[in-house]
Amino acid sequence: MADLRDAPLVLGIETSCDETGVGIVRGTTLLADAVASSVDEHARFGGVVPEVASRAHLEAMVPTIDRALKEAGVAATDLDGIAVTAGPGLAGALLVGVSAAKAYAYALGKPLYGVNHLASHICVDQLEHGALPEPTMALLVSGGHSSLLLSTDITSDVRPMGATIDDAAGEAFDKIARVLNLGFPGGPVIDRYAKEGDPEAIAFPRGLTGPRDPAYDFSFSGLKTAVARWIEAKRAAGEEVPVRDVAASFQEAVVDVLTRKAVRACKDEGVDHLMIGGGVAANSRLRALAQERCEAAGIRLRVPRPKLCTDNGAMVAALGAEMVARGRAASDWDLSADSSLPVTDPHVPGTSQGHGHNHDHVHEVAKDNLYS
């Protein structure tokens, strides 16, 4: 068995939305997971404000990195690489993380890895359940994404099977919570109220589940509109809105479609592992229904603990460590944030010749500065 000290030690930075995440992993072992969230600053607006998020990242970046290094018990000079979310996400927020990663990598003389946010959500499961089977089907569900992805190599081959054509599941949760006056973010509060409601009380529609609809794509806009109109009709008639039953019935409609399509994709592709990630993967009903349906279909379900499902630096560090372990090319210094980076690009490699020379030079500069 290889010595753990031989595994890549990588720091990951995540700033795609409203959370400043910094994680440190050694191989597939999590050493630190520091997060500074600006969600409270967005709550009064009922959603994430990009400019507010970017400024919060600027303020939180250095303290969060310092906290992660202290928690991991390592020095920055011990690192084997710096990984950062290059996309997709909010452009301004991504730029803060990419700029910080460049600065640290340059100053320390370490290789830089710009990685994909969605691929990172898949790779984080390695920190919980060990190496990912190849292939793995992944259902990623968050405020910005509802995607089915087939990964045969998390560092180089991730294939999109299906995606949302309008509202993502997490976005629908936020909007329905707002209509119900439950606050922001909507996911946790809907989950909480739904536990005391009847999921069969109201027959809300299941989008894109007809025989002629796309097999793996998702649509939650129609569901969101149907729920909002149902609530408005109750209020217009002067009737009390059964908040718990609405929450439970809405949630059931969402997770029913998500799990049904994910299991179908596994069966169609002959894949016996399903991984669920993203912020909505913390939803208790999604986890329970997925487990029930996977067991019935003979599929092994892998879901990280809730803290690793939401955006965090650990997932970025996990993918960065995998890039180092598999010898993938690091990124160049002109790495840029790409708000629409496709999942088919798990990372943004540089040109090997220019990159190697550049980092060799920087390493020498860093050594001179450290030991002069």
Annotated binding site for substrate: 140-144, 174, 187, 191, 283
Residue 343 main-chain phi, psi, to 5 deg: -65, -20
CA distance 279 to 139: 11
Q: Are 94 and 100 in contact (CB under 8 A)?
A: no
- Name residues whose C-beta falls within 8 Å of residue 198's C-beta, 6 or more positions apart in sequence: 244, 245, 248, 249
Rounded to 10°, the helix 91-108/352-371 angle is 60
CA distance 197 to 290: 20
Q: Are 276 and 139 in contact (CB under 8 A)?
A: yes
Instruction: Please enumerate, by residue number, every residue annotated as part of a binding site for Fe cation.
Output: 117, 121, 311
- Name residues whose C-beta falls within 8 Å of residue 81's C-beta, 6 or more positions apart in sequence: 8, 10, 11, 105, 110, 111, 112, 113, 320, 321, 323, 324, 330
No. of helices (H) and no. of strands (E), the chain:
13, 11
Instruction: Please enumerate, by residue number, every residue annotated as part of a binding site.
Output: 117, 121, 140-144, 174, 187, 191, 283, 311
CA distance 125 to 127: 5
10 Å CB burial of residue 241 (0-12, 13-18, 19+) is middle
Token pair, residue 368, equals 């001179």
- Name residues whose C-beta falls within 8 Å of residue 125's C-beta, 6 or more positions apart in sequence: 132, 275, 277, 302, 303, 304, 308
Find the Cα–Cα–Cα–Cα dihedral 22, 26, 29, 31, rounded to 10°: -40
Q: Are 36 and 64 in contact (CB under 8 A)?
A: yes
